[in-house]
Amino acid sequence: MLIFTSSVVAALLGSVACFVVPTNLPDGFYTVYEGSDIPIRQPDIELQATGARDVSNHPRNLFKRLVDPLTHCDNYAFNGDNYSTALRNMNSWCNDQGGALAGNTLKFFVSGTAVAYVCNYTDGRNTCFHEFEQANDIMDVVCGRGRPVSVHVAAYAKTLGRANTGVDICFAGTHAKTIE
């Protein structure tokens, strides 16, 4: 199953493949379009007053909403305070502002050295409405809070994750494991 899934996922990499987030980017929201390695700064987003997480999520229900998520846990150092800001901004964009990704694009929010990101591997529009907070909860359950992680959802042709600047993102779960 994992070999087959990884092969299918690897086939999706032609459009949005590994991208290294530059370490010198100012805090903010960025888009990378197909065929480009240049992140384009987006207008700042207005945060909603609501909390960044749905604390009512029960861990056993997390995998029901994101179909067959594959996770990849990393072991490098990660700044949780910076990530909290990146998470809040990504959730606000996904949930409160529609979170629509154009085909074959990557959206990420940088806060200090932390990055929250969503990668769309389809040719068409793809949204992340309530998916990022679900993916973040899966990241916490599977890999532990405060660790850099990616969650690939082949059924939706996207990867959602948290990482540091200077690190590859959007590798589409090629090193991921199936969570049963």
Kindly report, residue by residue over 136-164, the tens digit of the pLDDT.
Answer: 999 999 999 888 999 999 998 999 999 99
> Is the predicted pLDDT of residue 55 greater than 70, yes or no?
no
For the chain, first and last CA: distance in Å?
12
Structure tokens that stand for 140 in this block: 């916490």
**Domain locations along the chain:** 2-43+59-178
CA distance 131 to 34: 22
Cα separation, 137 vs 103, whole angstroms: 26
Element housing 134 (H / E): helix 131-143
Q: Give me the pLDDT at residue 2, please.
A: 41
Residue 64 region by backbone torsions, left for phi larger than 0, else alpha for psi between -120 and 50, else beta: alpha
User: Can you give the pTM of this predicted structure?
Assistant: 0.78
Q: CA quadruple 129, 134, 135, 137: dihedral positive or negative?
A: positive
pLDDT in tens, 58-115: 555 555 578 888 999 998 888 888 999 999 999 889 888 778 889 999 999 999 999 9
pLDDT at 13 over 50: no
